[in-house]
A = this chain, B = another copy of it.
Amino acid sequence: MEERSMNDERRERGSGPWGKEFRGVEARPRNWLVPVILLSLRDWNSYGYELMERAAKFGFEAINPGTLYRTLRQMEKEGIVKSTWETSKGGPARRMYSITDAGRAYLDFWAKSLEQYQQMMDTFFRMYTGRPMRDEPEDEERGNKERR
């Protein structure tokens, strides 16, 4: 043993060290899977099952296969990837995906917006670790904040 299949891994889901109180309380972006897939496909053509393993190296401990495959079909519908069946290799047929020009554009666009978003997070952390916001009163009329 020690070699573990994807089928095994996806059955486990850590609940974290805080108990079930905070299940689902994670900072995750929406639609994260799409850019991750595109980034993989930018350099190598690949298929669903393999992409699952790739994404695991990202921070997705165990992606849901259903979510992944559905996302891939959706991405193809949107024209940011395209696929062909590959039957030459042994085992079940694979749907090989490759990125399109639109996909590359999408990826670039997303990366740009990610920079913006990182600034938001920096702001958040500065406020979280540091003092409260420093531009407070600004208006005596509405000075109704209760200091705690």
Contacts and interface: CB of A to CB of B under 8 A. Distances in A.
A31 B111 CA distance: 20
A39 interface: yes
Contacts of A35: 27, 124
A45 B148 CA distance: 8
Contacts of A42: 132
A101 B2 CA distance: 43
A133 interface: yes
A29 interface: yes
A28 B30 contact: yes
Contact of A114 (B44, B96, B124, B133): B124
25 contacts: A18-B109, A22-B105, A22-B106, A22-B109, A25-B106, A25-B109, A25-B110, A26-B113, A27-B29, A27-B35, A27-B116, A29-B30, A39-B124, A42-B132, A43-B148, A44-B147, A44-B148, A54-B133, A57-B133, A58-B123, A59-B123, A96-B146, A111-B125, A111-B128, A118-B118
